[in-house]
């Protein structure tokens, strides 16, 4: 797609500017043109629940975590370790780089630069960067988790260059990348080392430098811990999920994602084979996708639909969203956004403390949830990273100089469409509280171009009106709904997406039960709103809810601004000690940190429906 923007150079590097946001063009262009190109929003352009969550993570987490003690000191001191220690400093740099660009806040920018500068001071003369004492010939890189920290440090440094334009960071990334290329191929047992982010990081380095050594390394080097994934090169990787010890979902999704990146540089349909397989295993009728939009059990792929304990790892949620976005950009199919928003508004945001400070490693939907005790390690870092990426998952350029809308959230953005044309698009909505969305389109001059809208599959029918005209009724199921017309300044498109209650039928361990949803939001029983009831009901999943008793939702700001809850009637089954009782119960949005139960029996099982996201391949 041709997009005309203000252009310039800095030290030979091409720069483009759109709407006041400078972007540094990669040195290598993809051989496969994406069907959707993300539009980057800044803090001034994004609000609503997504904007609030990003702000909380920046100012109540990133800006207050102890970078000295928890991230830098291990690299400075290199204490003795048993090889099982992982810090995660590269993920902090990665998220911080995006946060700096998103906020344009000098304090956020300064903090990220300081972290990079202090980390670079810990390097050895030969380029080694790590929290373990160096061994001859770089053999410390053969142990977990030294290489894992290095790979995400490379990625974070590359993205600091991409988002903040600091050329030093790109040079730091190149130096660390060269150290990795020098040491990793010597390891005779690559199956012993975690390498989840290795190909992703080195491909990013290739994209920004054009150095084909990085491309060859990312594509052809065998890697992968035998306790997580089949050891293979990125180009040749194929496996099934029968061997649970080699079905670590985070690592597999990271590799699927990296294969989509490699595909853009070296188109080969075999590189998308595992993505198609993974997607099929997630969304088939008895697949691994959980109702809250994530999918893992004990960090591994599972078909059981277990909701207790170590399920819905935040790393999995993060890479699932990132990988789905990559597939959506490749194919132009906005139906991937249905899966993305289920994950974002449930598993992802429920893993973030409503107060903003704490992060969960796992987010079960059955039983109590706890916050992780560390700010480092993998899950807090990956959650920060994916939340920092959300501003680029809302609007997209289309190849025919149009716009596509994936996520609904209050926002306003001026976008260059090509041939000197710009258009400002504004979303006014309280989504996901309601399904009412008003889009105002204001081109710099009257012009014809397409506007593509995601029509969520949870909505039976959407009423789409232009400038107050008689609404067109649009059914879900297509890749997108396109409005192609000659636009003039102030044209308004209104979407009314009814959000009826629906009970989604449980599968496997949840068979015979159902989960309550409204729009993209899953509801649960929490301890705070049901304190008296839970004095007598030990297991709230045993309650039998009456679908006919559900009324309209009412406001509940205890969990989030504009949040909702609903009251219902439920039966406590009879047992040897008591007769059947009818009780009142309150269900809150799944992000309720006190949530302990999501699936229930219902009085009329015919009221339950299949989950609209499962039972068929995404593109069918």
Residue at a domain's end among 449, 481, 496 = 496
Residue 1 is assigned to a structural domain of this protein: no
Containing H/E element for 407? none
The strand pair at 462-466 and 472-474 is best described as: antiparallel
Considering only 61-70, 75-84, 294-303, 575-584, which range has the smallest mean pLDDT? Answer: 75-84
Residue 316 lies inside a defined structural domain of this protein: yes
Half-sphere exposure of 361 (CA within 13 A, CB side): 13
Answer whether residue 516 is part of any domain: yes
State the average pLDDT over residues 392-417: 97
* Residues 379 and 413 both lie in one domain: no
The confidence band for 144, taking pLDDT boundaries of 50, 70 and 90, is: confident
Same domain membership, residue 304 and residue 411: no
| pLDDT tens profile 274-289 | 999 999 999 999 999 9
Give exposure, 81-103, as e/b (b: 16+ Cβ within 10 Å): beeebbbbbbbbbbbbbbbbbbb
Per-residue model confidence (pLDDT) at position 280: 97
β-partners of residue 496 are 436, 463
CATH number, domain of 171, equals 1.50.10.20
- Strand intervals (E) in 315-461: 395-397, 403-405, 411-418, 421-429, 436-443, 447-453
CA 156, 161, 163, 165 torsion-angle sign:
positive
The verdict on 342 and 276 lying in the same domain is yes
The reported pLDDT for the residue numbered 15 is 47
Dist CA 251 CA 226 (whole Å): 11
Peptide bond into 215 cis (omega under 30): no
Residue 456 shares a structural domain with residue 508: no
Report the CATH number that the domain containing residue 486 is assigned in CATH. Answer: 2.60.40
Residue 511 lies in a domain: yes
Nearest residue to 581 (alpha-carbon basis) of 523, 620, 524, 542: 542
Assess if residue 522 is contained within a domain.
yes
Tell the burial category of 219 from Cβ atoms under 10 Å away from its Cβ (0-12, 13-18, 19+).
Answer: buried
Could you tell me if 293 and 328 lie in one domain? yes
Residues 32 and 51 in one domain: yes
Domain boundary among 456, 471, 496: 496
pLDDT, tens only, 60-99? 999 999 999 999 999 999 986 654 579 999 999 999 999 9
Cα dihedral sign, 303-306-310-313:
positive
Dihedrals phi, psi of 193, to nearest 5 degrees: -125, 135
Residues 425 and 561 in one domain: no
Q: Is residue 162 part of a domain?
A: yes
Cα gap 167→605, rounded to integer Å: 61
End position of a domain, from candidates 462, 477, 496 = 496
Question: Using 50, 70 and 90 to split pLDDT, how confident is the model at 25?
Answer: low
Q: Are residues 571 and 543 in the same domain?
A: yes
- Average pLDDT value for residue range 359-374: 96
Are 96 and 115 spatial neighbours (Cβ–Cβ below 8 Å)?
yes
Residue 12 lies in a domain: no
**How many domains in the chain?**
3
The chain-wide mean pLDDT, for the chain, equals: 93
Whether residues 450 and 325 share a domain: the answer is: no
Classify residue 6: in a domain, yes or no.
no
Instruction: Tell me: do 505 and 475 sit in the same domain.
Output: no
Structural domain containing residue 573: 501-609
Distance, in Å, from the CA atom of 196 to the CA atom of 464, rounded to the nearest integer, reads 43
Q: 465: pLDDT confidence band, cut at 50, 70 and 90?
A: very high
280 and 370 part of one domain:
yes
Query: What is the value of pTM for the model shown?
Result: 0.95
Once rounded to an integer, what is the mean pLDDT over residues 456-472? Answer: 96
For residues 370-392, give the mean pLDDT: 97
Same domain assignment for residues 442 and 408: yes
């Amino acid at each position: 797609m041709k997009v005309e923007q203000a252009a310039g150079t800095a030290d030979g590097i091409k720069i483009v500017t759109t709407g006041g946001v400078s972007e540094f063009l990669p040195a290598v262009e993809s051989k496969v043109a994406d069907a959707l190109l993300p539009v980057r929003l800044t803090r001034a352009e994004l609000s609503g629940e997504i904007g609030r969550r990003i702000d909380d993570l920046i100012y109540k987490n990133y800006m207050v975590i102890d970078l000295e003690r928890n991230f830098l000191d291990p690299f400075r001191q290199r204490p003795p370790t048993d090889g099982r220690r992982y810090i995660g400093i590269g993920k902090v740099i990665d998220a911080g780089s995006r946060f700096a660009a998103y906020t344009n806040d000098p304090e956020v920018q300064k903090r990220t630069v300081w972290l990079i500068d202090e980390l670079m001071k810990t390097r050895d003369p030969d380029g080694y960067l790590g929290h373990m004492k160096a061994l001859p010939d770089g053999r410390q890189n053969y142990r977990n988790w030294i290489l894992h920290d290095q790979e995400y440090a490379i990625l974070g440094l590359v993205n600091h260059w991409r988002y903040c334009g600091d050329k030093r960071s790109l040079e730091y990334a190149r130096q660390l990348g060269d150290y990795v290329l020098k040491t990793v191929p010597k390891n005779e047992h690559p199956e012993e080392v975690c390498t989840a982010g290795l190909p992703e990081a080195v491909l990013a380095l290739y994209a920004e430098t054009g150095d084909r050594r990085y491309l060859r390394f990312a594509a052809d080097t065998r890697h992968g811990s035998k306790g997580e994934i089949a050891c293979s090169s990125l180009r040749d990787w194929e496996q099934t999920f029968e061997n649970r010890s080699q079905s670590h979902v985070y690592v597999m999704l990271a590799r699927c994602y990296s294969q989509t990146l490699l595909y853009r540089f070296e188109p080969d349909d075999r590189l998308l084979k595992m993505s198609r397989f993974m997607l099929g295993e997630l969304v088939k009728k008895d697949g691994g996708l959980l109702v809250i939009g994530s999918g893992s059990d004990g960090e591994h792929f599972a078909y059981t639909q277990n909701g207790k304990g170590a399920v819905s790892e935040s790393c999995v949620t993060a890479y699932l969203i990132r990988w789905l976005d990559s597939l959506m950009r490749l194919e132009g199919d906005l139906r991937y956004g249905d899966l993305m928003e289920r994950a974002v508004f449930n598993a992802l945001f429920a893993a973030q403390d409503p107060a903003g400070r704490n992060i969960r490693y796992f987010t079960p939907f059955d039983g109590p949830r706890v916050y992780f005790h560390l700010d480092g390690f993998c899950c807090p870092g990956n959650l920060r990273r994916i939340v920092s990426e959300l501003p680029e998952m809302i609007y997209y350029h289309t190849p025919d100089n149009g716009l596509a809308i994936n996520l609904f959230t209050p926002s306003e953005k001026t976008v260059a469409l090509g041939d000197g044309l710009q258009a400002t698009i504004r979303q006014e909505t309280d989504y996901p509280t309601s399904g009412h969305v008003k889009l105002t389109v204001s081109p710099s001059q009257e012009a014809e171009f397409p506007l593509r809208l995601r029509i969520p599959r949870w909505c039976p029918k959407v009423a789409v009106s232009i400038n107050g005209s008689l609404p067109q009724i649009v059914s879900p199921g297509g890749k997108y709904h396109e409005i192609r017309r000659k636009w003039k300044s102030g044209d308004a498109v209104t979407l009314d997406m009814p959000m009826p209650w629906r009970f989604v039928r449980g599968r496997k361990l949840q068979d015979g039960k159902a989960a309550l949803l409204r729009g993209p939001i899953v509801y649960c029983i929490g301890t705070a709103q049901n304190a008296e009831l839970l004095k007598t009901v030990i297991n709230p999943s045993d309650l039998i809810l009456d679908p006919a008793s559900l009324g309209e939702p009412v406001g509940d700001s205890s969990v989030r601004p504009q949040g909702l809850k609903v009251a219902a009637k439920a039966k406590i089954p009879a047992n040897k000690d008591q007769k059947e009782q009818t009780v009142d119960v309150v269900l809150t949005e799944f992000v309720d940190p006190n949530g302990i139960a999501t699936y229930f029996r219902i009085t009329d099982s015919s009221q339950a429906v299949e989950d609209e996201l499962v039972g068929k391949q995404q593109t069918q």
